[in-house]
Structure 1
Amino acid sequence: MSPIGGTVNLGVTVIRSRHSVRKYKDKPIEEKIVKDALDCARLAPTARNEQPWLFGTIQNRETLAAIAGLAENGRFIADAPICFAVFGRRDAKYYLEDCCAATVQILLALQAWGVGSCWVAGEKKDYAEDVRKLLNVPEGYALVSLIPAGYPEEIKIAQKKVIDEVAFFERYEEE
């Protein structure tokens, strides 16, 4: 049963089971999973169907370590078997929204395969331009997110607020 009533389908189960994972087993991610995550990303909703994204995957240990050295909140990227990088075309009006939707699609696709991941910010971070240059991505693109991923070594489940704390119906009213 769902916490709000009714039965739960597989998609909802994937969404509810996803948590940020920062410790991974030393086990590579199968190519079919990587390609499936990328395919799901390209199918994300996008304003005016612009699809202003460019997706990269990084598995080289030296490159992962270099990215981890740049991303102050992503030091654990060095230990991930893979890191996805989501870039948006700067001249697209809604590239941030579109690329965030694609990022979520990657997170959920990986979760469906039992692969843990964590969204590491790219947009507006001081290291975004350095990561772009490191990966040789054209100047017309901006880093939106980094997604290190792997089979979970450890999962720490953060407590989430209950629905009554974060939602309102029709009009917001102070209690």
Structure 2
Amino acid sequence: MDFTLVIKTRRSIRNFQVNEIPENDIKEILECARLAPTARNVQPWLIGTVTDKGILAGIADATDHGKFIKDAAACFAVFCVKSEKYYLEDGCAATMNIIHAAAAKGLGTCWVAGDKKPYGETIRKLLNVPDDYTLVSLVAAGYAADHPRPLKKTMEEVTFRNKYV
């Protein structure tokens, strides 16, 4: 699939089919996350993939706006070393690579915030991630059970050239 088409057609999915994601697809998604751009090439991330239904339910229960994670086939949890100056930017780049790689594989995803959320520490402990990491994001993933098409703002509403007028 043309990458621009992946970007143009991807939407956040919160309702998933019960199908599992093939292991090779998970590995390729993780490979894409690993290759994300990173400030000074620090690569401060640690990215977990959760497919265990009990752990998915625990993550969902901990979040404020991610209850649908329990029904996803997988949840990618992006953590970064919190002492790194650009951990948030780097972790967000890895998150977008996960989302786009998953879309290219025909999977639906939904980004659930992690950074600065009170449940971040709970999820870090649930997944047994070392103390020097902080949760940046959660990405619920699976085969879409629906295909929402929310309206997007026009180019004129969100862009400018040289100076805003």
- Which structure 1 segments of 5+ residues have no match? 1-8
Give the C-alpha shift of residue 155 in structure 1.
1.8
User: 1:37 maps to what in 2?
Assistant: 29
Corresponding position of 1:148: 140
Residue segments in structure 2 that go unaligned for 5+ positions in a row:
none
Task: Summarize the alignment of residues 10-159 of structure 1 with structure 2, pairs less than 5 Å apart.
Answer: 10-159=2-151
- Percent sequence identity over aligned pairs: 51
Stretches (4+) displaced over 2 A:
none
Q: In structure 1, what is the equivalent of residue 153 of structure 2? A: 161
Deviation at 1:150, TM superposition (A): 0.3
Provide the C-alpha distance between the structure 2 equivalents of 1:61 and 1:118, rounded to a whole number of angstroms.
Answer: 17
Larger-gyration structure (1/2): 1
Q: Which letter does structure 1 place at the counterpart of 2:94?
A: A
User: SS where residue 164 of structure 1 aligns?
Assistant: helix
Q: Secondary structure at the match of 1:67?
A: helix
Q: Structure 2 CA distance, aligned partners of 1:18 and 1:89?
A: 29
- What is aligned with 1:6? none
State the shift of 1:61 in Å: 0.6
TM-score, with structure 2 as normaliser: 0.98
Counterpart CA distance in 2 for 1:59 and 1:95 is 25
Secondary structure of 1:33 counterpart: helix
**In structure 1, how many angstroms separate the alpha carbons of the residues matched to 2:53 and 2:34?**
26
State the SS of the aligned residue for 1:168.
coil
* Aligned length in residues: 165
Q: Give, in angstroms, the shift of residue 91 of structure 1.
A: 1.4
CA RMSD of aligned residues (A): 0.8
What is the TM-score with the length of structure 1 in the denominator?
0.93
